[in-house]
């Protein structure tokens, strides 16, 4: 008989707890979390200590962040509040100390938070919010409280530029049949820094002695140029025919008598050596002889025709047909922003600008049309018709140039390695648009100021200046609405999220304690 094998008694298997399973088979993260809960969260004293440590750490980090003056997070669609790489590239080589004084804004303002990015990017840029209590000396020096308008003053050494955000930091562009706000904040601030820190500012001389407008008549124009750190001087070339050696731009504002033959020769030498001219001119008398002055303009093949431009298209004049609203060329750097920016130039009593051939060896002249009339404009050249308002029958009609840039290039030889000297002339067949009662800025809806400043910038060769135009879908540029939203998000991340995590941790701990 076979012996029956005794069955081995099986002991019941002990069931592992969830925590034991994690200790044996869990991954690193699960095992670490279990140890953390056992050693810190499961113990009431340790949990309280952990919460206190987190709170202290949170407060410390926030205090440190405030001392670093960190700018707000930019949540706007086109990064209006973010310093672009274009500005950073220009600021890389800045080795002079630049101070930015901010008047009329507090530390939470969007312009202030944007300026902080400049200070963070380059240690040579500092900023300070000034009030009558904190720094009245600065306010008084830069006349900041005269009208109570908020302002930003950019200073380097003895040079300064004052910016008014209310009308310097925005423009409009006509896009797809509607006007779109263009934010110019970064463009304005960066260019102001570049201007005040420039090694050699552009020197402008206004000629007098031939019935020209003196600078007392064009104070707004001079002030606008000086705000961009041009050095403006007045020089009488009737008594002294010497043109200063440091002259970068020589300006004739509506001469009423001819220059001397001696001065004409010096001007021709100035032009041949690369000097630049600006001529705003309205010929009021057809019988006045300008032979010598015209001889200088002939170097460029330029001239102004006596007469009066009388617009036949009501869309191209303001109030009277001789108050022109000329078309602006969108292909020129001088007038591109005027052509597309929703503003217009306003020229009263304008005349036709001429272009003649220049046929000389090694000399070439190129032209750039800036402002011109519609095709329906009348060019009245008869003195009686101008003075007495006679019939326009038989008067020539068409499109006429009112403002033009001429570039004259002189080559030293015909060889391949020839050197070329360039001289530029900007000629406008109108003069009174730069007087103080006609020098309208974009804040008044016209762009006379922009046209003048762009013209001078073109002659000065300010290639370092930047163009950063950021388009906004809002009705106003640099609107405060995105910043308020950004503030809410930042506060939620910095304050709400850590508190929420701590509260959730405490609730979980309490629930687990009650289940035991």
The per-residue pLDDT for 33 is: 62
Predicted confidence band at 496 (pLDDT cuts at 50, 70, 90)?
A: low
Task: Indicate if the pLDDT at residue 6 is higher than 60.
Answer: no
Query: Closest Cα to residue 354, out of 304, 399, 404, 306?
Result: 304
The per-residue pLDDT for 155 is: 94
Q: Which residues, 6 or more positions from 354, have their beta carbon under 8 angstroms from its beta carbon? A: 302, 303, 304, 305
Share of the chain above pLDDT 70, in %: 71
The DSSP bridge pattern shows strands 363-372 and 401-411 to be: antiparallel
pLDDT in tens, 335-379: 988 887 767 889 999 999 999 988 788 899 999 999 999 999 999
The whole-number average pLDDT for the span 105-113 is 90
Of the two residues 385 and 403, the one the predictor is more confident about is: 403
Contact yes or no for 350/370 (Cβ under 8 A): no
For CA atoms 319, 321, 325, 330, the dihedral sign is positive
Q: 164-188 as b/e, with b when 16 or more CB fall inside 10 Å? A: ebeebbbbbeeeeeeebbbbbbbbb
Burial class of residue 67 (count of CB atoms within 10 Å of its CB; 0-12, 13-18, 19+): exposed
Domain boundaries, the chain: 26-68+494-515, 78-198+464-478, 205-457
Q: What is the largest CA-CA distance in the chain?
A: 153
- Least confident window among 50-64, 245-259, 379-393: 50-64
Of the two residues 186 and 28, the one the predictor is more confident about is: 186
Mind giving me the DSSP string for 7-39? PPPPPPPPPPPHHHHHHHH--HHHHHHHHHIII
Of the two residues 385 and 255, the one the predictor is more confident about is: 255
Six token digits for residue 59: 């407060």
Fold topology of 78-198+464-478: Glutaredoxin (3.40.30)
Six token digits for residue 98: 């630049």
The whole-number average pLDDT for the span 383-395 is 84
Of the two residues 99 and 225, the one the predictor is more confident about is: 99
φ, ψ of residue 358 in degrees (nearest 5): -115, 110
pLDDT in tens, 126-185: 999 999 898 899 999 998 887 778 999 999 998 888 888 887 787 665 555 566 677 788
The per-residue pLDDT for 83 is: 83
CATH code of domain 205-457: 3.40.50
3-state secondary structure of 83: coil
pLDDT in tens, 467-490: 555 545 443 333 333 445 555 655
CA distance 69 to 357: 61
Contact yes or no for 312/266 (Cβ under 8 A): no
State in Å, rounded, how far the first CA of the chain is from the last one.
58
Contact yes or no for 99/126 (Cβ under 8 A): yes
Of the two residues 48 and 311, the one the predictor is more confident about is: 311
The per-residue pLDDT for 8 is: 52
The DSSP bridge pattern shows strands 231-236 and 203-208 to be: parallel
pLDDT in tens, 195-225: 888 888 899 999 999 999 999 999 989 988 8
Burial class of residue 202 (count of CB atoms within 10 Å of its CB; 0-12, 13-18, 19+): buried
Of the two residues 205 and 53, the one the predictor is more confident about is: 205
pLDDT in tens, 416-472: 666 889 999 999 999 999 998 888 765 556 788 889 989 999 998 865 555 555 545
Q: Which residues, 6 or more positions from 389, have their beta carbon under 8 angstroms from its beta carbon? A: none
Question: Taking all residues of the chain, what is their mean pLDDT, rounded to a whole number?
Answer: 81
Task: Indicate if the pLDDT at residue 16 is higher than 70.
Answer: no
Task: Indicate if the pLDDT at residue 331 is higher than 80.
Answer: yes
Query: Closest Cα to residue 356, out of 306, 304, 392?
Result: 304
φ, ψ of residue 406 in degrees (nearest 5): -115, 135
């Amino acid at each position: 008989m076979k012996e029956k094998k005794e069955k081995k008694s099986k002991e019941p298997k002990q069931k592992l707890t969830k925590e034991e399973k994690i200790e044996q088979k869990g991954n690193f993260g699960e095992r670490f979390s279990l140890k953390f809960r056992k050693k810190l969260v499961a113990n009431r004293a340790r949990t309280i200590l952990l919460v206190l440590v987190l709170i202290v750490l949170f407060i410390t980090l926030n205090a440190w962040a405030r001392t670093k003056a960190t700018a707000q997070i930019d949540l706007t669609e086109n990064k209006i509040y973010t310093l672009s790489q274009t500005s950073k590239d220009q600021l890389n080589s800045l080795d002079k100390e630049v101070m930015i004084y901010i008047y009329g804004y507090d530390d939470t303002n969007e312009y202030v938070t944007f300026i902080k990015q400049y200070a963070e990017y380059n240690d040579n840029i500092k900023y300070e919010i000034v009030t009558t209590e904190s720094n009245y000396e600065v306010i008084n020096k830069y006349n900041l409280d005269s009208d109570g308008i908020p302002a930003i003053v950019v200073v380097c050494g003895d040079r300064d530029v004052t910016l008014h955000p209310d009308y310097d930091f925005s423009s409009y562009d006509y896009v797809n049949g509607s006007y779109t706000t263009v934010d110019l904040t970064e463009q304005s601030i960066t260019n102001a820094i570049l201007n005040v820190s420039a090694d050699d500012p552009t020197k402008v001389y206004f000629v007098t002695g031939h019935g020209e407008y003196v600078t007392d008549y064009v104070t707004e124009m001079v002030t606008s140029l000086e705000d961009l750190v041009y050095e403006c001087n007045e020089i009488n070339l009737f008594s002294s025919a010497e043109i200063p050696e440091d002259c970068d731009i020589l300006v004739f504002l509506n001469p009423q008598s001819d220059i001397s033959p001696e001065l004409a020769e010096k001007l021709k030498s100035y032009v041949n050596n690369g000097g630049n001219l600006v001529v705003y001119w309205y010929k009021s008398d057809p019988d006045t002889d300008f032979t010598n002055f015209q001889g200088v303009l002939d170097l460029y093949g330029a001239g102004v025709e006596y007469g009066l431009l009388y617009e036949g298209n009501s869309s191209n004049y303001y109030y009277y047909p001789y108050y022109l609203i000329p078309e602006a060329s969108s292909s020129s750097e001088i007038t591109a922003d005027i052509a597309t920016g929703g503003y217009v130039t306003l020229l009263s009593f304008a005349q036709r600008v001429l272009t003649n051939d220049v046929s000389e060896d090694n000399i070439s002249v190129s032209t750039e049309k800036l402002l011109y009339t519609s095709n329906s404009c009348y060019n009245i050249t008869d003195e009686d018709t101008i003075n007495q308002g006679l019939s326009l029958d038989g008067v020539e009609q068409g499109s006429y140039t009112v403002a033009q840039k001429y570039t004259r290039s002189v080559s030293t030889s015909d060889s391949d390695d020839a050197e070329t000297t360039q001289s530029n002339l900007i000629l406008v067949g109108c003069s009174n648009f730069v007087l103080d009662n006609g020098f309208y800025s974009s804040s008044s809806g016209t762009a006379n100021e922009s046209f003048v400043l762009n013209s001078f910038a073109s002659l000065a060769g300010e290639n370092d200046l930047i163009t950063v135009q950021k388009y906004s879908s809002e009705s106003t540029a640099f609107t405060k609405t995105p910043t308020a939203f950004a503030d809410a998000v930042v506060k939620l991340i910095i304050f709400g999220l850590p508190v929420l995590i701590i509260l959730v941790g405490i609730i979980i701990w309490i629930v687990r304690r009650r289940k035991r």
